[in-house]
Amino acid sequence: MTPRTHSGRASDHIRGTNRQRETDSSQSTRRPPKTSVVLPLADRVERLERQHRRLANTVAALARHAGISVGPPCTACGDCHLLFEHGRLRCPACGRVEIP
């Protein structure tokens, strides 16, 4: 009785795996390194934070000039901050009025 041997399928499988690895390694050279993706994202976040800070400062200055204060976000709609004017809080987005 002779032992059964595989008909080369194992070697085909190994070759296919190696071929896949070769394909993966060639594709990884085409992808940009992580650092080239992370740096532009970090730059975008920093730029957005600066823009947010400038807008917040501008809105606060405009509110002071108009004699009103900017309060917390509206609990009803969450779209705007409440404006404190004439002893009451008002949401410019949904019109909700609160008297503290």
3-class state of residue 31 by DSSP: coil
Determine the Cα–Cα distance for residues 21 and 79; give it in Å rounded to an integer.
50
| Chain centroid to CA 82 | 26
- Residues 54-68: what's their mean pLDDT? 94
pLDDT number for residue 37: 74
DSSP output for 45-67: HHHHHHHHHHHHHHHHHHHHHHT
Determine the Cα–Cα distance for residues 50 and 52; give it in Å rounded to an integer.
5
pTM: 0.53
- Residues 18-45: what's their mean pLDDT? 68
Q: Distances from the Cα of 5 to the Cαs of 1, 9, 77, in angstroms?
A: 12, 10, 72
Determine the Cα–Cα distance for residues 81 and 5; give it in Å rounded to an integer.
76
